[in-house]
Amino acid sequence: MKKILLLGSGELGKELTISLQRFGCYIIACDKYKNAPAMQVSQEYEVFDMLNSNNLKQVIDKHKPDLIVPEIEAIDTESLIRFERKGLKVIPSSRAVSMTMNRDQIRNRAKELGIKTARFGYAETLNELIEMFHNINNKVAIKPVMSSSGKGQSYASTVSEVKKAWTFALNGMRGKKKKVIIEEFINFDYEITLLTILDSEGKIHFCPPIGHVQERGDYQHSWQPAKCEQNIVNKMKIIARKIVKDLNGKGLFGIEFFIKKDEVYFSELSPRPHDTGMVTMFTQNFSEFDLHARAILDFKIPKIELYKKGVSQVILANKNAKGKFLIKGIENAFKDKNIDIRIFGKPETKPYRRMGVILASNLKKAKEALSKIKVVNV
């Protein structure tokens, strides 16, 4: 039985915990708040600030895990590098975690590898940000170098908007870095997530492309398969192979791309299951969580098959949500027998927080189910 220290216990961590437990794993779920979703299904849990290296060391020394599996960005990655040097296994690797949890590192590495991205730069002060904005001379996206689920991300076309975006990015920032990335806005035709699995033998496997739509920097719905010309799929796979091989390790990577005509731009990478990939719980023979679990446990990756089309639609709290809540209307939504619903089990809510997901055969059915569900303050 593998003992796994899960760093981050949100909805993705909860589904991963369930997949790992099916293979007999023992999970210690960690997060900064009590009763996080994965803690509700794990064997043990720890509540602490994972950016604090001393706290992280104490928990690792206490549990002596076989594997350390990060699920969020707010982790002291320098500590993970030190632990790995001492023989602990970090998934997919400490280098991969460190580089991808800091947008500046992964973006710089993509540039070194010759991978096409939007024009970008970094700023640690508002004046630097305004200077970079003038250099790019176009509409820009501004976001923290470390954040999660699009928090702190906004767009700007004027200096006044840049100033607002700076404040918004600081408020959405995670970690110790007071630093933002500013990148040219690509007026893309569509966005794609390509779930890419690197197994313990170094072989790479792909899931069918996933399309998604974002608002406020956070995904709202995704669908699989996304319609892509084969030459676009081939270009994405070439980039994915190059960057995943460079990062090394084992596990599933969620790689995001902007598509503009026949051009493919690398956007971001998560070294773990991806929020847009929740649709795979409805569409594939093995979900992204099952595939990640198999890869990190050194199991063979089976043939990945798409056995039906599907959509995931998030259930959000409203803009005035705060504290304790009830979710009403699920029984009405289930009058359509062809949908599924996953409530994440978060202990409290806040504005626009993801509280669950609807899985359906198409967006119309998902939206109809969503219209019957309400997150209500109590």
Please identify every residue annotated as catalytic. 148, 150, 256, 268, 275-276, 354
What are the CA-CA distances from residue 285 to residues 59, 160, 288, 356, 362 (Å)? 36, 49, 10, 22, 18
| Summary count for the chain: helices (H), strands (E) | 12, 20
DSSP string, 66-78: SEEEE-SS-S-HH
Q: How far apart are CA 195 and CA 288, in angstroms?
A: 8
Directed axis angle between helix 230-247 and helix 94-101, to 10°? 120
Q: How far apart are CA 93 and CA 89, in angstroms?
A: 7
Burial class (CB in 10 A: 0-12, 13-18, 19+), 160: exposed
Write down the H helix ranges in 137-222: 159-171
157 three-state secondary structure: coil
What are the CA-CA distances from residue 362 to residues 3, 239, 315 (Å)? 39, 29, 16
Directed axis angle between helix 11-21 and helix 288-296, to 10°? 60
> Structure tokens of 60?
């690792």
Cα-Cα-Cα-Cα dihedral sign, residues 83, 85, 91, 94: positive
